[in-house]
Each structure stands twice: as structure tokens, then as C-alpha cells.
Amino acid sequence: MLYVVIMGALFLVGYRAIGNSTLQHQLYFPVLLGLFLFSAFRFEVGCDWWGYLHQYRLFSSTTGGEILDVQDPLWIGIIGLLNGFDLPYPWLNVISSALFFAGMHALAKRQPDPLSFLILLFPILIINMPMSGIRQAAAIGIMGFAFAAFLDRRLAAFLFWTVIASLFHTSAIVFLLLAPLVGGRYTTRRLVAAGILAIPGVFALLLGSGAELAIGRYVGSGVDAVGALFRLGLLLVTGIFFVLLAARHWARLYPRDYRLVSIGSLMMLTIFPLVFVSTVIADRYGYYLVPIQTIILARLPYLFPGQQNRLLQAAPYLALALTFVVWTFMSWHFNSCYLPYRTWIFGFPSDSFYFL
């Protein structure tokens, strides 16, 4: 199967390049470009292809004044912009992928091994977001800039990018609650205080119209996210591993990004119980944490170096590969959404209705 072959090739390259900084940087941009093209120029591939086509048609004639009155106005604005330039629906996927990979690049370039960070995103985040859930993919990409601002202790930039992300997908607004932790000393007391101060914000989010819509759609409705338990289970395991085994090493070796990663790992632990309320809502927020999870996984060879730790260094590749292979071969959902893979990078089929 094409996807498994691509994953295997990427994982082999990423694992073999561990410790070879020159090779990592030589391969990074070709891999980044290849994954972007693979995602952006797919044709009738992805579970949400037809749903977003319907959305494109629904909002293609939305005026500037009307855009301000809808949810996710920047996303709807892009649809209107495409229509204004007479660009067909598949270009929406190109824009979403560009935003996603730009944000992931902003995080990758801050990693000691940007190649592994990028490659480890493939089986879960890239396949499910820019290759399917393109609106949230755009928001996750913008949150990549927000997380980078968090790493740099730039509060204004963090707030700006988080708000921009929420204008693509309202779910991103919840990360504004991290704002009190961007600057100042990072202590347990400060973390608890920020949590207490966040309670009114959480209630405001839960009582908002977007939350009402999500609860109505996904809580007690019988709508489930296929594979959510596996994805959130991997987040849970990563969070437990960081808290119990990696936190002390990380704080000593990488104090600059310890704050973001430790907060992210705590969120990985607390998000899992949401599965029992709604797999869809839990899964939706879990995707935002995958970049932070991947920062942890790609850093293992640096936290636990040496031949005696080779199995631990390989563990992320093995776990993700097993999860991905089981999903691709056992899931009717994957086979109905992603197969066969086709691309329009060389042009649309002659009978395509996208230009009609």
C-alpha cells in the first residue's frame, strides 16, 4: 500500500539520520516539500473532501459584511477570496496545507532534529489533518506559530496567533488560557494559579454558541471519532512517560522549551477522560497536542543517548508504525477515504467538473 511504503521510507530515513546533523538538514527541505505536495495536491482523497466541497459552494458567494457574522470568518473569507479569483475548490486544500506546513516548520526549525520531528507527524497528524480535516489543519498550522511564540516568551505574538487560529477553527480559542504562563518564572504555584484563573474562561467557552453546537453534535449523539482511542492513548502514554521519566532530564538539558512541553504533557493526561464524554471533542483537541507530543518523541535520542538506549530511541517509530499499519489495513474508514491516492498536480482529469 502506498501510504505504508511512504511511511516506511520516511521512518527509515529519519531513524538512520539520528545523530547526523548534516544529513538531517540536507533531507529536511526535500521531505517538507514532498509532504506538502502529497497533501496539498491530492484529488478526491480524504474523508472530508466532499464535505468541504459542499462548504466551498455554500460560502463561495458570501460578501464581506456577511463574513463578519459567521463562525470561523477567516476560513470563510478564504473561500470567498478563491471564488473572487475564479479558483476551484481544490485550491482550498493547497492553502490549508501551506498554512499547516508553515506552522510546523516554525516549530521544526527550533528542534535539534527537525527531520525526525517532521517525519513523526506523518502517520497521525498529516494524514488526518491537511489530508482530510483541512479547516482544523489550518488552525493547527497557525497554532504552530503560537507555540513558537510561547517558546520565545513573546506574549503578544502568542495571543495574536492564537486568535488568528481561532478565526479558522473556534476550538483553538481554548489555548488563550495558557497566556498567563508565557512569561515570568515557571513554578508549580504559578501553574496552579493560572489554572484557577482559567476557570472563568473555561465556563465562558463551554457556554458559547460554538460549544453548544459541538455538544449538540457530539455528546450523546452516537457520533464517534474512528481511532480516537488509539490516538489519545498514544498522547496519554507520551504524557505519562514525560512526567515520570523525561521531565527532569528535559528541565536540565532544554530549559528553554521545558515550559511548553511540560504544560503540553499535562494536557495530554487531562484530555483522555474526555473520551468518555465525546470521542470527537477529545480527538479534536488531541490533534492540537500532537506537535508537542512529537517534540517529545523526536527529542528521545538527545535525552537518552547511547547504544544502550537504541530501543527507547526507536520506540516512537515502532509505536507509530504499528498503529498506522493496523489502521490502514483494518479500517474500512481509511480504505474508503484515502484509497486510491490520486493527485491533480499534473492537471485535472479531462472530465472533471471542478472547472465546469
Ranges of each domain in the chain:
2-338
Question: Reduced to 3 states, what is the DSSP secondary structure of residue 157?
Answer: helix
pLDDT of amino acid 61:
67
For residue 340, say if its preceding peptide bond is cis, omega within 30 degrees of 0. yes
* pTM over the 0.95 mark: no
Report yes or no: 202 and 173 within 8 Å, Cβ to Cβ: no
Question: Reduced to 3 states, what is the DSSP secondary structure of residue 343?
Answer: strand
Stretches where the chain sits below pLDDT 70 are: 61-70, 187-226, 350-356
**343 strand-pairing partners:** 42
Query: CA-CA distance, 281 to 171, in Å (whole number)?
Result: 9
Q: Tell me: the pLDDT tens digits for 318-342?
A: 999 999 999 888 888 888 999 999 9
pLDDT of amino acid 206:
46
pLDDT of amino acid 60:
77
